Amino acid sequence: MSYLINQTATCMPALLGTADCSYADMALFIVLKVVFALAAIIVIMCFAALSVVAERKVCAYIQGRYGPNRTAIPIIAAIPLVGNFLKKNGLMQLVADGLKFLLKEDPLPAHVSKLWYLAAPIMSLSPILICACLIPFGVWWDSGGAAHPLAAANIDVSLLAVLAIGALGVYGAIMAGWSSNSKFPYMGAIRASAQVISYELTMALAAMSVVLYMGSVSDSPLSLFEIASAQEQSWFFMTQPLAALLFIVALFAETNRLPFDMAESETDLVSGFHTEYGSFKFGLFFVGEYGHVALGSALFIILFLGAWNPLPYISYPESWGWISTLLGFITFLVKISAMIFFFIWVRWTLPRFRYDQVMALCWKCLMPLALANLVFYMAIAAI
Amino acid sequence: MADFSYYIFCAMLLGGALVVLLSRGYVNAAMGMLCSMLGAAGLMVLMQCYFLAFVMVSVYAGSVLVLFVFVVMLIGDVKENSSIWRKIGIVGLWVVLGAFVGWVSPMLSQAAAGLSKTTEVVFLSQAKNYGLVLMTEFMLPFQIAGALLLAAMIGVMVVAKNPSRKKARRELV
Amino acid sequence: MSDIINQFLAPALMLFITGFVGAMLKRNLISLFMCVELMLCGAMLALLSFASAYDDMRGGVFTFFILTIAAAEVAVGLAILTRLFSVAKSVSGNNLGNLRD
């Protein structure tokens, strides 16, 4: 790891064309970066895949059913304890679902605009994969005692970058709705674009009150790693509860989860912007949605829920070295799982809003609250 | 490596702009513009203005273009059928003007390079410096920009409010 | 020094020219609008190419202002366009000659 930090110092200027370094160093550096980026993507994608199963299981428990518990892969299911565990918890259903997405016939309706119809699933998934590389998953200390983030890319405006690139995912929904050339996807796309523009404002304003506080304690207040390291004592949801509430409401709207899933509300729009999609292209939308949920959870945890610190006022000591790095990483993953459970819980508990209610809630309630919250913390910072 | 990404971003920038110039539908043009804006943001990253690059992505790609597509969807996409000769004419004009740029741009930068560099510290890459400069040296323009945004917001509300709806309701009563 | 400036100035000028050609030749207002945006973006890149070569904050801050103004301009312009569409049923610039409705 410390090798990588040194390499970054020498190779980054070379990549930007302002300095020179040997091709072997550069190649190794690029390979390492790609490996780290892949690792971050794999973590987010694992969460996306597992939350599909979790969604079905949790929904089943909430509705008093068993959920998927029959699917079995022949040889693995015969392993004494593990096989039964996997079968009972529906984990093999995951493989079956994935295979179904892959092996079903891939229809291409005759009335669609082909290029954008094919590009839309990719456009909805790829921004999430880019954002995954910017999320710090933990902290580690080099031999000098300086803290570094466990992230594939550490830039000083990573919060802004995640918000900006994450918002690009809406183009997937818009282009899917437009290119499908059919009524319901079209309405879903219009709803998605209006909703995302509106709720992005609330989300950014809520995050801004955290940045405002960070500006007084840190030199790069827009960096996710700095925000996470500032929460070793009190967490931001304790000092800024309203901002946390606004952020999570906006997050539900941004990720198109149920109280706000206007873009694909099944009752009035069949299944919204991906009505015309089937098989693997639908699978990409599906995974993209859960990836967005996992990413949003990670963002919320870093901003308000103390990132990799286990409890408020308690953090893993620096003197434990890599053990506390590992513990912090595990804590972070556990927190993401808990947040995903919260997302699913809300989905199966609350009914859906009407479209005009969603927009009225944003512009008449959340936006003024977010502005008032920001002005309040601005006044506190000024005093 | 820097050259490689530089050429990719330039291709995105100019390719997207050409799509805007030549495309038949509005949505295709908007997507071309998205490509162009992402290319511009990439070039800004190469200039080490990370903050501006991501503000650019957030404002242009995240809001302005979504607004464009939203309006296009409200009023309906149109396919304008321009003739092939018109397209060839446009591309020809573009190439001629491009050659002119290729001729004039080195001279421009030659003239600009005569000045001496003021500082050695990298200011542009730090997000905090923008806040410091905005709040000290550029305080007045900053306030004026804020007032302009407020005026624009109120103006949009007034313009977008449909007066015929009120009239229709009155006739209904 | 002139190489560094030229490297980013040339694409910026080219983008501006593209927007300019479009703004001259396009008939309907939405395409016209997009071309004006391209011109603004080109101007922004040109400012930044000088600013980054001299590492001068003022160029960066002006880029920031251009971004702000462009966003406001788009919002107002698109509102006017939707209004125009509901009155004239088209967004072609050719139909704007009428002085009364």
Average pLDDT over residues B74-81: 72
**pLDDT higher than 90, residue B36:** yes
Out of B46, B66, B73, closest to residue A178 by CB: B73
Asked whether the beta carbons of residue C72 and residue B152 sit closer than 8 angstroms, the reply is yes
Average pLDDT over residues A301-322: 84
* pLDDT single digits (tens) A94-140: 888 888 888 888 878 888 888 888 888 888 889 999 899 888 888 88
* pLDDT single digits (tens) C24-48: 887 788 888 889 999 999 999 988 8
Range of the domain at A238: 104-382
**pLDDT higher than 70, residue A7:** no
Contact partners, residue A176, CB within 8 Å, separation at least 6: A117, A120, A121, A124, A185, A189, A273, A274, A276, A277, A285
- Within-domain flag for A14: no
Under 8 Å between Cβ of A165 and A200: no
Out of A15, A164, A178, closest to residue B62 by CB: A164
Query: Which residues face A311 on adjacent strands?
Result: A314
* pLDDT single digits (tens) A165-195: 988 888 888 888 888 888 888 888 888 888 8
* Residue B73 in contact with partner chain A when CB distance is under 8 A: yes
Task: Please give the pLDDT value at position A273.
Answer: 80
Chain B partners of A222 at a C-beta cutoff of 8 Å?
A: 51, 127
Residue B37 banded pLDDT, cuts 50, 70, 90: very high
The phi and psi torsions of A140 (rounded to 5 degrees) equal: -140, 155
Determine which of A34-38, A196-200, A230-234, B114-118 has the lowest per-residue pLDDT on average. Answer: B114-118
Residue A342 banded pLDDT, cuts 50, 70, 90: very high
What total number of domains does chain A contain?
A: 1
The CATH architecture of the domain made up of B2-110+122-137 is: Up-down Bundle (1.20)
Task: Please give the pLDDT value at position A336.
Answer: 92
Give me the residue spans of the domains in chain B. Answer: 2-110+122-137
* Residue B91 in contact with partner chain C when CB distance is under 8 A: no
Asked whether the beta carbons of residue A193 and residue B77 sit closer than 8 angstroms, the reply is no
* pLDDT single digits (tens) B125-135: 677 888 888 88
Q: Which stretches in chain C have pLDDT values below 50? A: none
Higher pLDDT among residues A18 and A324, named by residue: A324
* Residue B120 in contact with partner chain A when CB distance is under 8 A: no
Q: Which chains touch C (3 or more CB pairs under 8 A)?
A: B
For chain C, which domains are there?
2-95 (1.10.287.3510)
Distance CA(C80)–CA(C86), nearest Å, equals: 10
Out of A15, A116, A168, closest to residue B62 by CB: A168
Asked whether the beta carbons of residue B71 and residue C82 sit closer than 8 angstroms, the reply is yes
Residue A376 banded pLDDT, cuts 50, 70, 90: very high
Task: Please give the pLDDT value at position A8.
Answer: 64
Task: Please give the pLDDT value at position B171.
Answer: 62
Out of B94, B105, B119, closest to residue C55 by CB: B119
Distance CA(A102)–CA(B119), nearest Å, equals: 57
Task: Please give the pLDDT value at position A191.
Answer: 85
Task: Please give the pLDDT value at position A339.
Answer: 92
Which residue has 């740029």 as its token pair? B101
Chain B partners of C93 at a C-beta cutoff of 8 Å?
A: none
From C95's Cα to the closest Cα of chain B, the distance in A is 15
| Interface contacts B/C by beta carbons within 8 Å | 207
The residue of chain C nearest to residue B99, with distances taken between CA atoms, is: C14
Nearest by Cα to B33 from B50, B18, B54: B18
Answer positive or negative: Cα dihedral of C95, C96, C98, C101: positive
A302's tokens: 């870093």
Percent of chain C with pLDDT over 70: 86
